[in-house]
């Protein structure tokens, strides 16, 4: 499971030493090597999940409490006070779906950002594909997301909405959500190794982004002249797609191409930046 070692000999009284590392430095991501270390990824994800709920009075129930409280708060602020449009969808399931996706995104990006620093003892002592650490954070958040999605589906049925046929495409949109999250969190995790301010800035930034992302309102409320610019945020098309699959809301429009392009750019750029920075993590972490 471990790639071959590159051996360097030192002459004189010093014994030979071994530097453990990959056979080659990939330009973006070595999927084969990551698959070889799949057990490590699973262990890291399970560890993070256990730490999250260890000695918590409500335990996993927090995965239900948080979206419920968050949704009720948004109902008061955006529906009762601001009267923002939800494209004809009942407000509670509309907001619950959006809040579930956003909570996964914001919590996972924050966890990814600090993941390498948290595991500095592992990073500096043994070789493994470092990308396994932030990738494990993506899997950890998926547990809470699954619970929130089930809760949102129950709320959807309770309000009399019949699940549309495109519900079968929901896994596709959830994978898209994971890729967007991974693409944004990976370069932030890389930057945080060198600049620890990044870890402090991310939670504050995601709180601000909540208000310019269609979590508590439909993206259609944005004037048509601004739609292309608005969709620079990859989460716009993702949340619209999840709502279309679960609630029968209007599908993502042509502007979703911008979201898809920006999401792909962030993912490929993040993978490349991580690949060229990975070898120096142990020296500067």
Strand 6-8 vs strand 17-19: parallel, antiparallel, or unpaired?
Answer: antiparallel
Query: Over 80: is that where the pLDDT of 199 sits?
Result: yes
Confidence of residue 9 (pLDDT cuts 50, 70, 90): very low
Of 60 and 114, the one with more pLDDT: 114
User: Is 53's pLDDT higher than 80?
Assistant: no
C-alpha torsion sign, points 172, 175, 177, 183: negative
Tell me which of 36-40, 81-85, 160-164 is least confident: 81-85
User: Side-chain half-sphere of 148: how many Cα atoms within 13 Å?
Assistant: 28
d(CA 140, CA 35) in angstroms, rounded, equals: 17
66: its two tokens = 């948080």
How confident is the model at residue 64, as a pLDDT?
A: 74
What is the model's pLDDT at position 16? 52
Give yes or no for residue 10 having a pLDDT over 50.
no
pLDDT at residue 162 is higher than 80: yes
Average pLDDT for residues 126-154, to the nearest whole number?
Answer: 89
% residues pLDDT > 90 (the chain): 37
Quick one: pLDDT at residue 137?
A: 92
The mean pLDDT of the chain is 83
pLDDT tens column, 86-122: 777 888 888 899 989 999 999 999 999 999 999 888 8
> CA dihedral defined by 229, 231, 233, 234, rounded to 10 degrees?
-150
Q: Average pLDDT, stretch 270-280?
A: 89
Among residues 209, 259, 267, 204, which one has the least CA distance to residue 231?
Answer: 259
Mean pLDDT, residues 213-228 taken together: 89
Shortest CA distance to 112 belongs to which of 267, 3, 8? 267
> Given a cut of 90, is residue 135 above it in pLDDT?
yes
Q: How many CA atoms lie within 13 A of 80 on its CB side?
A: 8
Adjacent-strand bridge partners of 19: 6
Q: What is the mean pLDDT of residues 72-90?
A: 73
Residue 89 CB burial class (10 angstroms; 0-12, 13-18, ≥19): buried
């Amino acid at each position: 499971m471990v790639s071959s070692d590159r051996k360097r000999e030192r002459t004189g009284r010093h014994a030979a030493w071994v530097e453990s590392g990959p056979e080659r430095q990939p330009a973006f991501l070595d999927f084969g090597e990551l698959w070889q270390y799949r057990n490590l990824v699973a262990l890291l994800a399970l560890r993070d999940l256990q730490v999250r709920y260890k000695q918590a009075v409500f335990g996993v129930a927090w995965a239900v409490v948080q979206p419920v409280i968050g949704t009720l708060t948004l109902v008061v602020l955006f529906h009762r006070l601001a009267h923002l449009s939800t494209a004809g969808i009942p407000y509670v399931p509309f907001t619950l779906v959006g809040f579930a996706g956003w909570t996964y995104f914001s919590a996972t990006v924050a966890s990814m950002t600090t993941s390498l620093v948290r595991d500095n003892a592992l990073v500096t002592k043994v070789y493994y594909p470092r990308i396994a650490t932030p990738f494990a954070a993506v899997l950890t958040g998926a547990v809470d997301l699954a619970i929130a999605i089930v809760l949102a589906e129950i709320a959807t049925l309770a309000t009399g909405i019949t699940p549309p046929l495109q519900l079968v495409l929901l896994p596709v949109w959830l994978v898209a959500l994971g890729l967007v999250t991974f693409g944004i969190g990976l370069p932030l995790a890389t930057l945080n190794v060198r600049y620890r301010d990044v870890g402090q800035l991310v939670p504050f930034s995601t709180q601000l982004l909540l208000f310019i992302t269609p979590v508590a309102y439909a993206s259609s409320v944005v004037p048509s002249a601004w739609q292309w610019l608005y969709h620079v945020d990859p989460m716009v098309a993702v949340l619209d797609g999840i709502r279309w699959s679960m609630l029968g809301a209007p599908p993502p429009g042509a502007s979703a191409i911008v979201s898809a392009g920006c999401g792909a750019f962030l993912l490929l750029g993040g993978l490349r930046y991580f690949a060229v920075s990975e070898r120096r993590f142990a020296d500067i972490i």
